[in-house]
Amino acid sequence: MSVRVLDSPFDPWACLADYQRQFDAEPGAFGASAVFVGTMRELSAGKVVQSLYLEHYPGMTEASLEAICGEAMQRWSLHDALILHRTGELPPGEPIVLVAVWSAHRKEAFEACRYLIEELKSRVPFWKKERSAEGSHWVAANTPP
């Protein structure tokens, strides 16, 4: 299980491939993987967003991510889990989050991946500030699932 908060752009697919290489020595260790990649949207509440600034509380954020990963590992029979999350200034189209899980079966992989992203969105301390032509404002709530 690995969680990381990043302050610079990342390629989720390259990171996923790098992380998955550790499994090369364990062929057949899992039969399913599920991946979610979230990107910065250009539209929010009908307005064009020029950028998003993400803040977090170092230490607390990572601990929250590790807690939800641990919960998923206990709840489902997972081989491994990975969460990467960006902070700082993001333009539209840039990846914000990568959630990946590996399991013996697809049902556990899909359910655990969804659990992780939904818990991340509702429990992990990130603060979002959107910038548009009208100015900047802090986002009061996350988008619904």
Domains defined for the chain, CATH in brackets? 2-20+30-129 (3.90.1170.40)
Categorize the per-residue pLDDT at 128 as very low, low, confident or very high, splitting at 50, 70 and 90. Answer: very high
**Is the pLDDT score of 7 beyond 70?**
yes
Q: How far is CA 56 from the centre of its chain?
A: 14
pLDDT at 47: 85
34, pLDDT greater than 80 = yes
73: helix, coil or strand?
helix
Q: What is the mean pLDDT of the chain?
A: 92
> Could you give the CA distance from residue 6 to residue 94 in angstroms, rounded to a whole number?
13
Q: State the Cα–Cα distance between residues 35 and 90, nearest whole angstrom.
A: 21
**Choice between 47 and 80, residue whose per-residue pLDDT is larger:** 80
Using alpha carbons only, what angle is made at residue 79 by residues 76 and 82, rounded to the nearest 5 degrees?
A: 90
- Count the alpha carbons within 13 Å of 144 in the hemisphere toward its beta carbon: 1
